[in-house]
Amino acid sequence: MHILILPSWYPKHPSDVTGVFFRDQGLALQKHGHHVGVIAPQLETLRTLFKKTNAKFSLNFELDDGMPTYRHPLYAFLPRLPYGNYILFKWLAKRLIKRYIAEQGKPDIIHAHSAIYAGAVAAELSHELKIPFIVTEHSSGFARKLYASWQVKLAKKAFTQAKKCIAVSPELSSLLETQIPHTRGQWTWIPNMVADRFNQPSPRDTQSRSIRFLNLAMMNDNKGQADLINAFKQVVEDKLQSELWLAGDGALRTNLEQQTQYLGIADKVRFLGMVPPAAVPGLLEEVDVMVVSSHYETFGVVAAEALMAGVPVIATRCGGPECIVTEADGILVPIKEPQALGQAMFQLAQNIANYDPVEISKHARARFSGEAVAEQLTKLYRSVFFSRKNDEIALEDVSQNECP
């Protein structure tokens, strides 16, 4: 089957983590036997524009591990005008799909990722080109109430016109049904996939060194690293030989560094900076526990990645991890409660020998591997494709039975 992926955001280069799970899913579908392509409109901010002195704001093409990928960056010069950047995104998408069809042929299905703006644009492309589309929603913007009313209207348009609506967690589907009642009963849950780049795990040697906790996330208010640092202070006071590794960067990094100094634990906290996707497997081999301290997540791919690598996870009940972490591979705690988080960190570290890396990895692969997710998507694609074929046959029969 020929699947065209239209993402709302997408990696700009191999080391870019932005939207890497869209790329991973496309490659997994290709490995599963589908013909898969990507068109990626990319709206750049003025700040990004100034950073890229040699940026080429034109359509470009590459074969990404055999997957035809068409990108088109453009300066988003209408940020304050309602529908402004949506119009620009749509213009880019139409240019890209015209080129794509000319060179790769017409796809059977468009798979849009996130309604704002890819899903809304897919609804228009579907109508114009007579190609069915589905949409997977990933954005935490609905829960965090980040969208203006005109953006919510675009989302409604995508969700109500899509042949299938997918949410990456049960909690997200419930939230969307509440916020957009027209979508009740339309949602299917299919998790994000984890790329097959993690080695078979082996037991960690925690007897001869400190327990290493890892947080891998952008450093902003939603990711909760300030809560995590307070929790780790409690762990240190409980005399647990441990280290906290913070991988990522962002606006709050300086504040977080100052917080560790103020609490007197700076010598036990490592700030690793940004870690490219290719380096994540190696990093996970060096740590013992992944900690997700977020206030809200639609899924929480780092938790699934850690489990694939055999690393147990402590996570807040922030929307996504509830469908990832089980009693066999980690602990869930309430959001914004550093004391509960610290207690879970101490408890898991004390019982680390009870968490079998091989079994954790095996269980995660059965749920989040490319093969597992691609199989679920394939069943959904087939239902959409054959439903369309049946509709076409029915229309053909009606036209043949009409009087001349």
Q: In 162-268, which residue ranges form alpha helices assigned H by DSSP?
A: 170-179, 225-237, 253-263
How many whole angstroms separate alpha carbon 302 and alpha carbon 317?
Answer: 15
Produce one character per residue of 168-189: b if its CB has 16 or more CB atoms within 10 Å, e if not: bbebbbebbbeebeebeebbee
pLDDT band (50, 70, 90) for residue 399: very low
Residue 255 pLDDT exceeds 80: yes
Looking at residue 389, what is its pLDDT?
60
Instruction: Give 164's strand partners.
Output: 134
Contact 169, 323 (CB under 8 A): yes
Structure-model confidence comparison of residues 208 and 246, the more confident one: 246
Task: Calculate what percentage of the chain has a pLDDT beyond 90.
Answer: 79
pLDDT tens track for 300-350:
999 999 999 999 999 999 999 999 999 999 999 999 999 999 999 999 999
Contact 116, 84 (CB under 8 A): no
**CATH number of 211-365, picked from 3.40.50.2000, 3.40.190.80, 3.40.920.10, 1.10.10.10:** 3.40.50.2000
pLDDT tens track for 259-275:
999 999 999 999 999 99
**CATH fold match for the domains 2-193+372-393 and 211-365:** yes
Q: In 221-316, which residue ranges form alpha helices assigned H by DSSP?
A: 225-237, 253-263, 280-284, 301-308
pLDDT tens track for 16-33:
778 888 999 999 999 999
Q: What is the DSSP string of 67-132?
A: EEEEEEEEE---TTSTTHHHHHHHHHHHHHHHHHHHHH---SEEEEESIIIIIHHHHHHHHHHT--
Q: What are the structural domain ranges in the chain?
A: 2-193+372-393, 211-365
Looking at residue 7, what is its pLDDT?
97
User: What distance lies between CA 91 and its chain's CA centroid?
Assistant: 25
How many whole angstroms separate alpha carbon 259 and alpha carbon 239?
Answer: 20
Q: Which of 225, 234, 251, 365 is nearest to 307 (CA)?
A: 365
Tokens of 393: 């046959």
Mean pLDDT, the chain, integer:
91
Superfamily of domain 2-193+372-393, CATH level 4: Glycogen Phosphorylase B; (3.40.50.2000)
**Which residues, including other chains, have CB under 8 Å from residue 274's CB and lie 6 or more apart?**
17, 247, 248, 249
Looking at residue 395, what is its pLDDT?
42
Looking at residue 398, what is its pLDDT?
42
Looking at residue 79, what is its pLDDT?
74
Looking at residue 400, what is its pLDDT?
47
Residue 391 pLDDT exceeds 90: no
Looking at residue 76, what is its pLDDT?
85
How many whole angstroms separate alpha carbon 4 and alpha carbon 40?
Answer: 10
Structure-model confidence comparison of residues 135 and 207, the more confident one: 135
Burial of 196 (0-12, 13-18, 19+ CB in 10 A): middle
Rounded average pLDDT over 178-200: 89
